[in-house]
Chain A
Amino acid sequence: QVQLVQSGAELQKPGASVKVSCKTSGYTFIEYYIHWVRQAPGQGLEWVGWINPRSGATHYPQRFQGRVTMTRDTSISTAYMKLSNLRSDDTAVFYCARGSSSGWYHWGQGTLVTVSP
Chain B
Amino acid sequence: GIQVEQSPPDLILQEGANSTLRCNFSDSVNNLQWFHQNPWGQLINLFYIPSGTKQNGRLSATTVATERYSLLYISSSQTTDSGVYFCAVYLGYGNKLVFGAGTILRVKS
Q: Do they bind each other?
A: no
